[in-house]
Structure 1
Amino acid sequence: MKFFLPITIITSTLLANVKARWHPAPGLTWDYLLGASNSVIEKSNQQVVTIDLEKAQTYVPYFHSRGQKVICYFSGGTTEYRSDRTAYEKANIVLKSGSGDGWGNQWLDIRNKAKLQPLIRNRMKRAYSYGCDAVEVDCLGIYNYRSDYTEEDSYVFAKWVAQTAHEENLSIGLKNVAGIAKRLEPYFDFAIVESCAASPNVCNIYKVFSDNNKAVFMVHYGNLGYKLSGSSLNTLIKEQGGRGFTCILNEHQYLQKNGINYNCSTGAVIS
């Protein structure tokens, strides 16, 4: 009996030192700033801000001091020009042949979990060490770009990516992949969706997240023709309205400017 109290105290102390994982609920405002300069990032006053992982060490403390949450971005399914790129190349998982992702990156062999998962885990460990509240892991849908990979390959990959984030005590958002989004919802904490109003009823796929009290952050881009007026606004309202989403408009896909949050059901700007 004399051992019970010390063990209980030790266990309680350890649990108290583990950061509770963030679970973003619908209704939060958002800024998406992957390509933004430092001065633009510092202007953001939204409740949730997404920045690149390389900016996190500097800006997570900055935003936390102002009561904001931070999502840290990196790609999980393609090469990137980061400090760890050599490790990816040495692992022999870069698919040299075939088309890339359209942004100058090559796809990775997502079926090679033994080699790829440790590399992704290392990035998540970095994110956690910087204090990121969540990660956004991009490029989960290789099957949309290469016929030698299947939808099931992407589903299995995305599922273990989410599980890896949770093992590292991070919340994780599902990025796009509408075709498998409903299957993946149980494993992800929120969703980040681009340009879903381009096709009818695609935005509505993500309602499964808001129905389960998970935030859905949707962005459309001005350079692709979206604006908060006329027929464009009518389309945005039709596809996004009344579903509990967070809706923003950013000037360009390069995400260099602060986004405009607006009411998904009316188009009214949220200041």
Structure 2
Amino acid sequence: MATNAAAEAATSEKPHVAKAKRSWPLWKKLTAFGVTLSVIIALAVGLGVGLTRGKGGNNSDETANSEADDSTEPYLKARSSLWQPKVGAQWQIVLLKPIKLNKDGSAKDLKPNVGIYDLDLYDNDAETFAALHKAGKKVICYFSAGSWEDWRDDKNQFKKADLGKTLDGWPDEKWLNLRSTNVRNIMKKRIKLAAQKGCDAIDPDNVDGYQNDNGLKLTKKDSIDYIKFLAAEAAKYNMSTGLKNAGDIISSVLPYVQFSVNEQCVEYSECETFAKFIKAKKPVFNIEYPKGAPKVKESDRKAICSKKGKAKGTEGFSTVIKKMNLDGWVMYCTGNTYQTAVEN
């Protein structure tokens, strides 16, 4: 297996292809590998445990199904209204591993001291989200809404007809049929789980299958309708919804979502497209992956944060500079860097 640095370098050097899924983040590769290894170990010792990662979160189908049958009322009470993040709000995103709290279970010393954390729905437990709330922070919960992942515990709930072509270069993921009632029912469970765990918003990924060779004849209209479905479902629990990339459907879904999570719009000179969110007084949470991170050249940082040239249109954006594996390291346009503690 290649080292993290080598794998990351290989990923970051892949050329951008228009209308295609961008490079699969290294954190996702490592997650898939980690789960596979967990299965092998579990079988070897005869434990028969499910695929759980992090600090004791239980992601089994049985748990997810039983939780999905609970009343929604307690979770509605936890969020009295739909959260609308402010333009320019500072944030951090960590997906590679669950974040690590203090020994007393608090998040009071968590770095960076920003108001919003975007974290993996499954890897982080409800106690982590509660600690973040106690520290005055909001939590956006990430999950893939448009691709089947072979390491997720609900993978067997998908039917053969729900699955499209394998994502180019990534044998562990397949595009999902966004029109499928079964797919939508599974996503309802995921969204309800997010509500139960205390998420303030959802970050549903891979909703732009129409831009790719998906094998399901997905269209823009399918993605637009799907985003509206996800947003309406999340709103039942007073959770906000973000649009992940998919710049060419912004005008159609902007009234239904509360923010954008964008990757590499500076790198590909696409930021003016996403500025529609700022005009609507909704934030753009922008991630850039410069070559060499965490050793970022000063010239690269300045270019990313210049608001001109390739960065034209980024006025008001909430930009973070990250490594492709989306671990705890982050740099801001001020040049300040931080390392969010994560579990081993």
Does the pair score TM above 0.5?
A: yes
Q: Does 1:214 align with 2:282?
A: yes
Which of 239, 248, 264 aligns to 2:320? It is 248
In the alignment, is the contact (CA less than 8 A) between 2:210 and 2:223 conserved in 1?
Answer: yes
Which of 96, 99, 103 aligns to 1:38? It is 99
Q: How far is the alpha carbon of 1:79 from its aligned partner?
A: 1.1
Cα distance in 1 between the residues matched to 2:237 and 2:168? 29
Q: How far is the alpha carbon of 1:92 from its aligned partner?
A: 4.1
Where does residue 145 of structure 1 map in the other structure? Answer: 212
Where does residue 52 of structure 1 map in the other structure? Answer: 120
Count of aligned pairs between the two proteins: 248
Counterparts in 2 of 1:78 and 1:270: CA distance versus 1, 3 Å: same
Cα distance in 2 between the residues matched to 1:84 and 1:232? 40
Q: How far is the alpha carbon of 1:240 from its aligned partner?
A: 5.3
Q: How far is the alpha carbon of 1:22 from its aligned partner?
A: 0.9
1:85 partner letter: K
Cα distance in 1 between the residues matched to 2:92 and 2:78? 30
> Secondary structure at the residue paired with 2:185?
helix
Cα distance in 1 between the residues matched to 2:132 and 2:94? 13
Moved more, 222-231 or 189-198: 222-231
Which of 199, 202, 224 aligns to 1:155? It is 224
In the alignment, is the contact (CA less than 8 A) between 2:259 and 2:277 conserved in 1?
Answer: yes
> Secondary structure at the residue paired with 1:168?
coil
1:244 partner letter: G
2:285 partner letter: F
Per-residue displacement from partner, 1:30-65 (whole Å, max 9, x unpaired)?
101011353389544221001100114231011111
In the alignment, is the contact (CA less than 8 A) between 1:77 and 1:140 conserved in 2?
Answer: yes
Q: Does 1:179 align with 2:244?
A: no
Q: How does 1:81-120 map to 2 (within 5 A)?
A: 81-88=151-158, 90=159, 92-95=161-164, 97-100=165-168, 102=170, 104-112=172-180, 114-120=181-187
Cα distance in 2 between the residues matched to 1:16 and 1:32? 26
Which of 303, 314, 317 aligns to 1:234? It is 303
Which 4+ residue blocks in structure 1 deviate beyond 4 angstroms? 15-18
Q: How far is the alpha carbon of 1:16 from its aligned partner?
A: 7.0
Where does residue 131 of structure 1 map in the other structure? Answer: 198
Cα distance in 2 between the residues matched to 1:136 and 1:103? 23
Q: How far is the alpha carbon of 1:182 from its aligned partner?
A: 2.6
Q: Does 1:170 align with 2:231?
A: no
In the alignment, is the contact (CA less than 8 A) between 1:34 and 1:51 conserved in 2?
Answer: yes
Where does residue 144 of structure 2 map in the other structure? Answer: 75
Tell me the C-alpha RMSD between the 2 structures. 2.7
Structure 2 residue runs of 5 or longer lacking an equivalent are 1-75, 102-106, 339-344
> Secondary structure at the residue paired with 2:325?
coil
Moved more, 148-157 or 76-85: 148-157
Q: How does 1:20-39 map to 2 (within 5 A)?
A: 20-39=81-100
Cα distance in 1 between the residues matched to 2:79 and 2:300? 49
Q: How far is the alpha carbon of 1:166 from its aligned partner?
A: 1.4
In the alignment, is the contact (CA less than 8 A) between 2:167 and 2:173 conserved in 1?
Answer: no
Structure 1 residue runs of 5 or longer lacking an equivalent are 1-14
1:198 partner letter: E
Question: Greater share of helix residues, 1 or 2?
Answer: 1
1:141 partner letter: D
In the alignment, is the contact (CA less than 8 A) between 1:227 and 1:233 conserved in 2?
Answer: no
In the alignment, is the contact (CA less than 8 A) between 2:87 and 2:282 conserved in 1?
Answer: yes
Per-residue displacement from partner, 1:194-235 (whole Å, max 9, x unpaired)?
0111222x1111211111221111011134779462256325
Q: How far is the alpha carbon of 1:170 from its aligned partner?
A: 1.0
Where does residue 8 of structure 2 map in the other structure? Answer: none
Counterparts in 2 of 1:106 and 1:170: CA distance versus 1, 3 Å: same
Cα distance in 2 between the residues matched to 1:122 and 1:70? 18
What TM-score results when the alignment is normalised by the length of structure 2? Answer: 0.65
What TM-score results when the alignment is normalised by the length of structure 1? Answer: 0.81
Cα distance in 2 between the residues matched to 1:231 and 1:70? 29
Which of 331, 335, 341 aligns to 1:260? It is 331
Cα distance in 1 between the residues matched to 2:327 and 2:335? 22
